[in-house]
Amino acid sequence: MKSSVINRFLAALIFVLGSLQLVASGPENGRLTGQLLDGETQEPIPFANVVLLRADDHSFVRSVATNAEGTFKFNNIPLGDYTVRTTVLGYKSLKPVVSLSMLQGRVALGSVEMQPLMRGLAVRPSKKDAPIIRQAKVASASRTLTASTLTVR
């Protein structure tokens, strides 16, 4: 009976020590990946800046640019909590918070959809539109002068 209890205790001790060894040999650095897409057209956003900041004090860690397919990758990131700041001209900035830990050393954000700041503001003049013509009067000390025409485009 005593040997059975001792054998179980030793087996449990070996199991616990083996588990600790696996945790201790886990990744010391992590990896973060993702892809930036236009929220309306679902097209990739190439050559955009993606900045990695520490979540607690917002200090700069690293910055990468998206490739032609809009994907980005941070390698060898120390484990911890981070804010991912995406800055693309004409789009709302995103700031998701991610956590890299021993259990989850690789985080894939997947497709991150960037929303345009202004929709439908691109105004193209049509050939039908004629220039606006206004009469302008300029007052001087001695008389009033009438300008011929003023074209506003």
What pLDDT score does 53 carry? 96
| Chain centre to alpha carbon of residue 124 | 30
110 domain residue, yes or no: yes
91 lies in which domain range? Answer: 27-114
Name the pTM for this structure.
0.59
Q: Which CATH number fits the domain that encloses residue 52?
A: 2.60.40.10
71 domain residue, yes or no: yes
59 domain residue, yes or no: yes
**Interval 12-24: pLDDT, tens:** 556 555 554 544 4
CA distance 32 to 78: 11
Q: Which two tokens stand for residue 36?
A: 């930036």
132 domain residue, yes or no: no
Q: How many domains does the chain have?
A: 1
In this prediction, the residues of the chain whose per-residue pLDDT falls under 70 are 1-3, 5-27, 119-153
87 domain residue, yes or no: yes
List b or e across 118-141, with b for residues whose CB sees 16 or more CB atoms inside 10 angstroms: eeeeeeeeeeeeeeeeeeeeeeee
- Please report the DSSP string for 62-113 in residue order: EEEE--TTSEEEEEEEESEEEEEEEE-TTB--B--EEEE-SS--EEEEEEEE
